[in-house]
Amino acid sequence: MLRRSILGLLFALCACGTFSIVDPYGNAYGGWYDHGGGYRWQLAACEQEISTGSVPNPQRKLYMRCCMWRHGVPIDDAESCGPAHG
């Protein structure tokens, strides 16, 4: 019984990972009901913005999250992407 519980938990954790995508800075997009695989073009566009822009390394994680939000990807903390981070 314990073995089945552990296997079930591992399967659930792996399945959740298939529904979200992660950017190079550690931000995750998507989830169980909102599949992150549909955000691949936004991820590519924002990665291009960062590589062509002059975004300092310490600000890249927030910039990436806000860029994804500007392209229509729902994020948990949209307030952090006010007009100053556009």
d(CA 29, CA 65): 9
**What is the structure's pLDDT at 46?**
95
Q: For residue range 60-86, what is the model confidence (pLDDT) as tens digits?
A: 999 999 999 999 999 888 888 976 544
**What is the structure's pLDDT at 59?**
93
Q: Is 36:20 a contact under the CB 8 Å cutoff?
A: yes
| pTM reported for the whole predicted model | 0.71
Give residue limits of the domains in the chain: 2-85
Instruction: Considering only residues 60 and 1, tell me which one the structure prediction assigns the higher pLDDT.
Output: 60
In the chain, the percentage of residues whose pLDDT exceeds 70 is 74
